[in-house]
A and B are shown apart, each in its own frame.
Chain A
Amino acid sequence: MLEVDLEHRLGAFALDVHFRSGPGLTALFGRSGAGKTSVVNAIAGLLSPERARIAVDGAVLVDTERAIAVPAHRRRVGYVFQEARLFPHLTVRQNLLFGRWFAQRAPAAVPFDNVVELLGIAALLDRRPGRLSGGEKQRVAIGRALLANPRLLLMDEPLASLDGRRKDEILPYLETLRDQARIPIVYVSHAAAEVARLATTIVLLADGMVRAVGPVAEIMSRAGLYPLAGRFEAGAVLAVQVERHDSGYGLTELSGSFGRLTVPRLDLPVGAALRVRIRARDVILAASPPTAISTLNVLSGVIEAIVPIAEAALEVQLRLGDDHLLAHVTRRSGDALGLAPGRPVFALVKTVAIDRHSLGGRSHALDPDDELDS
C-alpha cells in the first residue's frame, strides 16, 4: 500500500496531492504539467517536498512533520526514467547489476536470470548501452530497477520517447511485470491507451491536484474527464471474457455484465479474460430499439450523466449492468432524442478495440491502433 500526502510549491505551481493505492499498477494520469513527475520524484527522494508524508507498506520515506526524509539511495524505490539513463561506461550486465550490489542486505532478491528472461535481454548482456535501440535500452532500464530489489517501482512515461512499434515491444513486458513481479508499480502517463491497458488503479491529476482515484474501468468510463486529462480519446474500458466462437461467420462473442459483444474472431480460448476499450466516438445512441441495422452490437443501458465537452458536443455516460459506457453526441441530437439522466437508451457500438497481443489467461487490454470493426 502506497500512501502519498504531498504539498509543494514549484514557482507559481502548487502541488497538493493526496492518494492511497494498493497492489498492481497505479497510473498517475493527466496532461503534461499536471505535476505527475514531481509526485514520483518526491516518492523517489529526488525532490524535497515542503510538507509531505509518503509511506510504502508502512515504511515511512518522508514525514516532514517528524523531520524524516530517507535519502534517495536508502529508499529502495526503483525508478525507470523517461530516457533510460543507462550508464554508458558499463556493459548491459554491469548496468543490470549496479543496484544489486547495494541491495545485498535486502531480503528476497529477484533472480538475475528471471529478470533477464522476463525482459528478453539475454542477447544484450555483453554490449554497451550506446548502440542499443530505444526499446532495448528501456527494457534494460526496467531490469536494472527491478534488480535493485525495490519495494516500489516508479515509471515516468517509460514509453514516451519510443515510436509505436517500440511501444508494442515493451507493453507485454510491463503487463507481465504487473501480473508476476508482485512489486507495486506507479506508472506516470498522459496516454489513455497505455493507462487503459496497464492500470489497476488510476489517479487522475490535474493542475497539481488529484481529481479522481479508482479502478481503471470506473475512472475511464466517467464522463467529463476530457478537460482534466487533456487531449485523449475518451472511451470506456470493459472487462469481458470469451463466451464462444462462431466459426461459420468468423466471429467471437464476448460477455460481460452489460451483455454481449460480437467481434471478429479472436485467437483466444473460451473463458479467457480480457479488457476491451470502446471509444466514445464509436458509440451511437438510439432512443428506441433499432431494427435492420448492420451493427451487431446493440447494448441497452441507462443514462447516468451528461457533460458538455465542446460548444456542439456532449459526452454521455451510460450504465450497463456493472459497467459504464461513454458516447459522444452532438448537442442537437441530445435535444432531439430528449437525452437526460435516468433515461433508458440503446447504444450501438461501431468498433471494439482489442489488444492484438492477447494471449489468454491474464487480463489483457486494448490498443486503439489495433481495432476491429464489429
Chain B
Amino acid sequence: MLDFSADELSAIRLSLRVAFWAMLGSLPFGVAVAMVLARSQFWGKSLIDGIVHLPLVMPPVVTGYLLLLLFGRQGPLGRFLDENFGIVFAFRWTGAALASAVMAFPLLVRAIRLSIEAVDRRLEEAAGTLGAGRVFVFLLVTLPLIAPGIVAGMVLAFARSLGEFGATITFVSNIPGVTRTLPSAIYALTQVPGGDSGALRLTLVSIVLSLIALIAADLLARGMARRLAGD
C-alpha cells in the first residue's frame, strides 16, 4: 500500500510544494489586505472586499482562465514579469502555486481579518503611551495578538491549496511531473481504464494530509490560546 510509484510520489511532493509556497507567498499580502479591510474606511472598500472574495464564489475554471489571460506568456502581467524579473507562471509549478494562492486568498484574509477585529485596540493605545510608534505597535502588540488568526488562516490556505483543482488545471494544465498535483493526478487516473486503485490510494493520501494539517492547526491554536490566557 505504501510503496508509491515515482509518478505518485512526484504528485505528492509537488502538491506539498505548491501548497507551501501558495500559503507563504500570499501571507504578506493577506496580512496587508486584512489590515486595510479591518482598520480603514475608504470609498470603494466594499469593492475591494468583493474582489478578494470573488474566487470563493466564482467557478474555479473562470479564475483559472482569468489567470491564464493575465499571467500567460502573452498576458500583460505574465509578459512584464517574464521580461523584467524572469518569473514565469504559465505551465510551471509556480503557476499552480499562484492559482492555489488566489483560490485560498479569501480564506486567508478572512481568518486574519477576524483576528484583527478582535484585537483590543486599547492595548495598542497603551503601547503608544509607553513610547511605541505605529510600526513598533504593529510588530510588538498587534502582530503577536493576531498570530493565532494568522496561523489559522495559513493552515486553511494550505489545506485549500492541497485540494485546488479547477483553476490549476485551467491555468497550468496537467503535465506529469510539472503541474500534476494530487487532485490532477487523481483526475487523470479516473480517466483511464484500471486507474481506480491508484486513484483510491491518492485519495487516501489526500485525506491523511488534510487531516494532519487541520490537527496541527488545532494544536497550534490551542497552544497560543493558553499562552494568552496566562500559562
Contact = CB atoms under 8 A, between A and B. Distances in A.
A332 interface: no
Nearest to A81: B126
Contacts of A98: 127, 130, 132, 140
B228 A130 contact: yes
A144 B141 CA distance: 15
B67 interface: no
A184 interface: no
A89 interface: yes
Interface of B: 120, 122-123, 125-133, 136-137, 140-141, 144-145, 147, 227-231
Given A78-B129, A98-B127, A128-B227, 13 more contacts: A46-B125, A85-B122, A87-B123, A87-B126, A87-B127, A88-B123, A88-B228, A88-B229, A88-B230, A89-B228, A98-B130, A101-B131, A148-B130
Interface in A78-107: 78-79, 81, 83, 85, 87-90, 98-99, 101-103
Contacts of B130: 73, 78, 98-99, 102, 144-145, 148
A102 B126 contact: no
A165 interface: no
B132 A102 contact: yes
Contacts of A75: 129
Contacts of B122: 81, 83, 85
Contact of A88 (B125, B127, B145): B145
Contact of A79 (B126, B132, B137, B227): B126
Nearest to B134: A73
A322 to B, nearest CB: 40
Most chain B CB inside 10 Å of its own CB: which residue of A73, A128, A130: A73
Interface residues of A, number: 33
A73 B128 contact: yes
Interface of B is mostly: helix
A266 B44 CA distance: 71
A88 B148 CA distance: 13
Nearest to B126: A85
B231 A72 contact: no
A103 B129 CA distance: 11
Nearest to B143: A89
22 contacts: A71-B128, A73-B128, A73-B129, A73-B130, A73-B131, A74-B131, A75-B129, A77-B129, A81-B122, A87-B141, A88-B145, A89-B227, A98-B130, A98-B132, A101-B131, A102-B132, A128-B230, A128-B231, A129-B230, A130-B229, A130-B231, A148-B131
Contacts of B125: 46, 72, 85
Contacts of B145: 88-89
B129 A102 contact: no
Contacts of B140: 98
B118 to A, nearest CB: 12
A116 B231 CA distance: 21
Interface string A110-133: 000000000000000001111110
A89 B129 contact: no
